[in-house]
Amino acid sequence: MAPILDIKNLYKNYGAVEILKDINVSIEQGEFLVLVGPSGCGKSTLLNCIAGLEPITRGELHIGGRNMTDVSPKNRDIAMVFQSYALYPTMTVAKNITFGMKVRGVDQATQQEKLQQVARQLQIEQLLNRRPGQLSGGQRQRVAMGRALVRDPKLFLFDEPLSNLDAKLRVEMRTEIKELHQRLGASMVYVTHDQIEAMTLATKIVVMKGGVIQQIGSPAEIYNRPANLFVADFMGNPAMNLIPAKTRANGVGTKIEIARKDGAPIVLTDTQNRNLPEDVILGVRPEDIGEPDHRASQTAQAAECMVDIVEPAGADTFVVMQLGGKHVTARLHSETSAQPGKRQQLAFDLGKVSYFAPDTGQRLN
């Protein structure tokens, strides 16, 4: 079957400014694609191009196997939820939801039936006669979802739909959207600048920066094998530790040397024989540095480090040290005995590390 959405070599300019550069993405039926990146990187622009609200400058865009270049938004069989919700202020909730059907000449009975169905699904039945101005942020969000759901489109587009909600509601709605996706089996493209939202919702993530795609992959791929320093730094919280290091191949494996402020450098041995340049950036997730007894992994290597800061965070305690001239965070158990200003035995799990070239920022392993 043809992919639901297929974008090939898409470019988008505003005047002389190139906003999107050589975008290639495709998704299959039922996939949940998340576009993630810092604000201003062109996520909304790409979504608007998919919706047909902005013309594309070059390239091809297919939805459901059909070339969309000259197809207007209303004929693309899509529905869109906007960041500001964009509810029609003078219409009631019911009118907001049925407006699209009314414009398309769907008969009254069908309109009412679908309205009731969606209202039940989203639990907004008691709000149908209110106007958007009389709703809370969360309720508006639901209505905006309702307006999209009622269309039953081939492809859903979401532009940061949760970014105007407070933290607690955001988490709740995130779960609801995920549940909705699983129940409907619908295809979705979802824009966010929040990497946690991306990780939790996506079946496929596209990381963007400055209008260029940095990496496409499943959440696990993106998290475990970031393609470059930008992705490594952007995805994950706390961010991946990116430590300048020197490497030396020694037959059985690779010696990795990390400078320290006080005392001799830490030397770790990566048992895999990798073909690395002398200077690398070592990428280690905070959870891959821990107390030795908690990390009885084959690939773990212990070293003694001076702890600078201890930050308890409930389930975990984060400790911060200085290694290779960088702040390095380790995720320890909440019952850790680590003390600021004291030395602490820590195990580095080298099974999952990433190596990056310092000059290009590209992944080396």
Partner 1 sequence: MTDFAIAPPRSQSRAVRIGLRWLLYVILGLFALYYLLPLFVMITTSLKSLEEIRTGDLMALPREVTFDAWKTAWSGACTGIQCDGVKPYFWNSVLIAVPAVLISTLIGAMNGYVVAHWHFRGANIFFALMLFGCFIPFQVVLLPMARVLGLMGIAGTIPGLIFVHVIYGIGFTTLFFRNYYVTIPSELSKAAKVDGAGFLRIFWSIFLPLSLPIIVVSIIWQFTQIWNDFLFGVSFSQAGTQPITVALNNIVNSTTGVKEYNVDMAAAIIAALPTLLVYIVAGKYFIRGLTAGSVKG
74 part of the interface to partner 1, by CB under 8 A: yes
The CA-based angle 151-157-162, given to 5 degrees, is 105
41 part of the interface to ligand ADP, by CB under 6 A: yes
Nearest distance, CB of residue 94 and partner 1, angstroms: 14
The distance in angstroms from the start CA to the end CA of the chain is: 34
Q: Which two tokens stand for residue 179?
A: 């549940």
346 part of the interface to ligand ADP, by CB under 6 A: no
Compute CA distances 126 → 89, 116, 122, 139, whole Å: 18, 11, 11, 11
The distance between the two most distant Cα atoms of the chain, rounded to a whole number of Å, is: 79
Compute CA distances 354 → 108, 226, 239, 244, 362, whole Å: 59, 8, 13, 12, 10
Size of the site for ligand ADP (CB under 6 A): 10
98 part of the interface to Mg ion, by CB under 5 A: no
39 part of the interface to ligand ADP, by CB under 6 A: yes
Nearest distance, CB of residue 184 and Mg ion, angstroms: 24
Separation of alpha carbons 68 and 72, rounded Å = 8
Pairing of strands 187-192, 32-36: parallel
Q: Residue type for 250, please?
A: N
Separation of alpha carbons 52 and 58, rounded Å = 14
Q: Scanning residues 8 to 27, which ones bind ligand ADP (CB under 6 A)?
A: 14, 19
Nearest distance, CB of residue 216 and ligand ADP, angstroms: 16
Nearest distance, CB of residue 25 and ligand ADP, angstroms: 15
Q: In the bound complex, which residue of the shown chain has the CB atom lying closest to ligand ADP?
A: 44
Per-residue contact flags (x/-) with partner 1 for residues 90 to 119, judged by CB under 8 A: x--------xx--xx---------------
Among 27, 32, 34, 43, binds ligand ADP (CB under 6 A): 43
Q: Which is nearer to ligand ADP, 43 or 181 (CB)?
A: 43
Nearest distance, CB of residue 283 and ligand ADP, angstroms: 25
Pairing of strands 78-81, 155-159: parallel
Q: Which is nearer to Mg ion, 39 or 275 (CB)?
A: 39
88 part of the interface to ligand ADP, by CB under 6 A: no
Binding-site ranges for ligand ADP (CB under 6 A): 14, 19, 37, 39-45
